[in-house]
């Protein structure tokens, strides 16, 4: 059968759906190379790292207090969200975004923002009154996304490389 002209072909329907460990893990692991190497300069994502990440995905995909979602374009995952509930001494129930990713060809179309909305709804439905995340200062695109979505810096996580002053 002749294929349809380009302008008549249906656009792929992009949706956000629950993560499925068996079907989605390989794609989600591939996303982690960019996510971690961008946000932690100098880090190399190794096979061991990915093996541990896979183990974590398997564990948390069965837990009520962890939410895993993918953006799917009909051919498989092209984005990922991991949101969990945490409690601290000052707040018993906080939503915490652990991972958010959109594949490069889908960026700039609002899908990152849509994943943020999914995270906020998921956390609010489970009793969270706040949502938090850690962002890397070396990733201004992500920081801008959070700021434009209403997130503000509340505390700074400060760090120092110990090798120069205290190395061997
Ligand atoms: C951060 C990331 C999820 C954004 O996804 P996205 O789908 O492109 O984001 P959106 O299209 O929803 O854009 C949301 C906001 O982000 C900002 N933004 C996104 N890409 C940007 C870019 N290249 N330059 C400047 N701002 C950008 C914009 O402010 C935009 O808000 P606006 O639409 O009101 O202008 C995506 O770049 C990504 O997956 N990066 C790699 C993984 C990563 O670093 N994750 C963050 C870990 S903290």
Q: Is 111 in the pocket of ligand 1 (CB under 6 A)?
A: yes
pLDDT in tens, 114-156: 999 999 999 999 999 999 999 999 999 999 999 999 999 999 9
47-80: burial string, b at 16+ Cβ within 10 Å, e else: eeebeebbeebeebbeeeebbbbbbbbeeebbbb
Q: Are the beta carbons of 118 and 81 closer than 8 angstroms?
A: yes
Q: How far is the CA of 34 from the centre of ligand 1 (A)?
A: 14
Name every residue whose Cβ is closer than 8 Å to that of residue 101 and which is 6 or more positions away in sequence: 31, 32, 34, 35, 79, 80, 81
pLDDT in tens, 22-79: 999 999 999 999 999 999 999 999 999 999 999 999 999 999 999 999 999 999 999 9
Beta strands in the chain (DSSP E): 15-18, 66-72, 77-86, 94-102, 130-133
Give the C-alpha separation, 49 to 44, whole Å.
9
Q: How far is the CA of 70 from the centre of ligand 1 (A)?
A: 16
Q: Is 117 in the pocket of ligand 1 (CB under 6 A)?
A: no
Which residue CA neighbors atom 30 of ligand 1 most closely? 145
The pLDDT value recorded for residue 2 is 45
Q: Structure tokens of 29?
A: 């692991």
Stated pTM of the model: 0.91
Give the C-alpha separation, 29 to 57, whole Å.
10
Residue 8: band (very low, low, confident or very high) from pLDDT cuts 50, 70, 90: low
Give the C-alpha separation, 155 to 88, whole Å.
14
> Closest ligand 1 atom, CA of 109?
11
Query: Ligand 1, residues 33, 114, 145: which to mutate, most atoms within 8 A of Cβ?
Result: 145
Q: Is 103 in the pocket of ligand 1 (CB under 6 A)?
A: no
Q: Are the beta carbons of 24 and 17 closer than 8 angstroms?
A: no
Q: Are the beta carbons of 69 and 17 closer than 8 angstroms?
A: yes
Q: What domains can you pick out in the chain, each with its CATH number?
A: 12-149 (3.40.630.30)
Q: Is 71 in the pocket of ligand 1 (CB under 6 A)?
A: no
């Amino acid at each position: 059968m002749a294929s349809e002209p380009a302008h008549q072909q249906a656009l792929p329907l992009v949706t956000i759906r629950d993560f499925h460990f068996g079907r989605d893990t390989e794609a989600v692991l591939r996303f982690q190379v960019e996510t971690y190497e961008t946000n932690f300069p100098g880090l190399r994502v190794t096979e061991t790292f990915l093996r541990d990440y896979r183990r974590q995905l398997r564990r948390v995909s069965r837990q009520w207090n962890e939410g895993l979602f993918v953006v799917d374009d009909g051919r498989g995952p092209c984005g990922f969200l991991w949101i969990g509930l945490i409690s601290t001494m000052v707040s018993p129930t906080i939503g915490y975004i652990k991972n958010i990713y959109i594949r490069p060809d889908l960026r700039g179309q609002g899908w990152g923002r849509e994943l943020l909305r999914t995270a906020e709804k998921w956390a609010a439905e489970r009793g969270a009154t706040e949502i938090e995340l850690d962002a890397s200062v070396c990733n201004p695109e992500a920081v801008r996304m959070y700021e434009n979505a209403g997130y503000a810096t509340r505390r700074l996580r400060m760090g120092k490389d110990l090798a120069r002053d205290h190395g061997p």
